[in-house]
Amino acid sequence: MYTKFMNLQLSYWLDDDNIIRRVNDHWDQAMDSQNWSDRASANRIVGKLLSEFICDDVTRMYVATMIESVRVIPHTSFRPYRCDTPDMKRFMQMIITPEDNGWIRISHELLRIEPLEKPVTFSTVTEFSPLRQCKNNQTIHFVRCSICNRLQRYGNRDNTWYEADSLIARSHALSESLKVIYGVCLDCPDKLR
């Protein structure tokens, strides 16, 4: 199912106010083939602010910075990121291009896929509350990087971020989805420079 769309770019165009004004012709076909929710269909996103589809303030600022940098100094910007499924690592690239009419074209391209060592699902919470208990009853909270998809235990003082499947392998299999809040790790903003 992914190989059909490996070289396909999915694009949307933003106006000066970062409202999605249109999507490319094969948007809905790709969304259907990858089991995206109806929330991602063209008729649900066109006319909406891009920020409505970004989970947290840190990621909104990260994306806004990338878009604004292309507006201020017109150039095409290439940004790698991950958009994983429960069982696959999906390595993607976001291409941000200024258009002659003042709009910004944002394209997403699937570069490669790899299986996850262990499947893992996530559910988003809006604030920290007791999320998961260790064997010693210590509460563990996780932050998931919106760009690279790595996880960090909340409050981890050494700033260590882990691949989700390797973290799950160390913690043994989970029978339920891992509850996370989203943010951006310290490595990903450095890639903007």
Dig out the tokens for 189 from the structure.
Answer: 């903003």
**15 and 71 share a domain?**
yes
Q: Any idea what the CATH number is for the domain that residue 180 is in? A: 3.30.1490
- Would 193 be classed as within a structural domain? no
**7 and 67 share a domain?**
yes
How many angstroms separate the CA atoms of 147 and 178, rounded?
A: 18
Dig out the tokens for 131 from the structure.
Answer: 């999320």
**Which pLDDT tens digits describe the chain residue by residue (193 residues)?**
344 445 678 999 999 999 999 999 888 877 665 555 666 788 889 999 999 988 888 889 989 999 999 999 999 999 999 988 888 999 999 999 999 999 999 999 999 999 988 888 887 776 655 444 444 444 457 888 999 999 887 766 777 888 887 776 665 545 567 778 888 888 887 765 5
- Would 137 be classed as within a structural domain? yes
pLDDT computed for residue 189 by the predictor: 78
How many angstroms separate the CA atoms of 102 and 90, rounded?
A: 31
Contact between 81 and 92 under an 8 Å Cβ cutoff? The reply is yes
Domain that holds residue 96: 3-115
Characterize the bridge pairing of strands 104-115 and 9-14: antiparallel
**131 and 106 share a domain?**
no
**53 and 83 share a domain?**
yes
Contact between 113 and 107 under an 8 Å Cβ cutoff? The reply is no
pLDDT computed for residue 1 by the predictor: 39
pLDDT computed for residue 99 by the predictor: 96
